[in-house]
Amino acid sequence: MKALIIVDVQNDFIPGGALAVAEGDMVVPIINQLQAKFDFIVATQDWHPADHGSFAANHPGKNIGEFIDLNGVNQILWPVHCVQGSQGAEFHADLNQEKWRAIFQKGMNPQVDSYSGFFDNNRQGDTGLSQFLKENGVEEIFVCGLAEDYCVKFTVLDGLEEGFKVHLILDATRAVNIQPDDFSKAMIEMENAGAVITHSVSI
Ligand code: VGL
Ligand code: ZN
């Protein structure tokens, strides 16, 4: 069984949002078309408390893009984004949600960030996504959404480690590029780990 995993297509990652990804809105119609080709679809949702440790605003004197040690994990600091219950945390209004089997929220623990849809960045918290997919006979996952260089990348890498065959749908993702070359570095990491790079028209 094949599953489509839609990562963090939320208002704050869309141009005009708090952590805008350039062209982030362009993935929405592509993902809606893709959804017609899958029977099994899940989404992830970045869902932070206001006091989350990844927000630069919660570390006086620190700026967005700087690194800190957050409980032993190297953490880049982000603008305040995807705060639980805020408009920015909602899914893009045009994103079709009709066929979703489940939504996996992540990033709720203020002490650790969670890029991957599977595990927290310290690999302690587990969203239950892996078990949910395996229980339903999913062996192959197709990953799309935002952002290619953070949450999409770590979802792809964890999916491979969990034993899934993993495809990245290149035209259905965009990078935030907070550091130069984040996009290309992420591509290389995903390919080296065994991800298959594909395009929506090939599915
Ligand atoms: C993301 C940075 C912080 C993402 C989430 O969805 O890629 N990036 N939180
Ligand atoms: Zn986040």
Residue 152 belongs to a domain:
yes
Q: What is the pLDDT of residues 137-195, one digit of tens each?
A: 999 999 999 999 999 999 999 999 999 999 999 999 999 999 989 999 999 999 999 99
Tell me the average pLDDT across 105-118: 98
Q: Is 151 in the pocket of ligand 1 (CB under 6 A)?
A: yes
- Look at the chain and report how many structural domains it folds into: 1
Q: Are 118 and 155 in contact (CB under 8 A)?
A: yes
Residue ranges making up the domain that contains 176? 2-48+81-202
Residue 59 belongs to a domain:
no
Ligand 1 center to 89 CA (angstroms): 11
Residue 53 belongs to a domain:
no
- Is 158 assigned a catalytic role? no
* Full-model pTM: 0.98
Q: Which residues in 103-137 are b (16+ Cβ under 10 Å) and which e?
A: ebbbbbbbebbbbbbbbbbeeebebebbeebeeee
Q: Is 146 in the pocket of ligand 1 (CB under 6 A)?
A: yes
Residue 126 belongs to a domain:
yes
Nearest-CA neighbor of 133 among 142, 145, 120? 142
pLDDT of residue 6: 99
Confidence of residue 132 (pLDDT cuts 50, 70, 90): very high
Q: Are 143 and 164 in contact (CB under 8 A)?
A: no
What is the CATH number for 138? 3.40.50.850
Residue 60 belongs to a domain:
no
Ligand 1 center to 160 CA (angstroms): 19
Q: What is the pLDDT of residues 11-57, one digit of tens each?
A: 999 999 999 999 999 999 999 999 999 999 999 999 999 999 999 99
Residue 175 belongs to a domain:
yes
Residue 63 belongs to a domain:
no
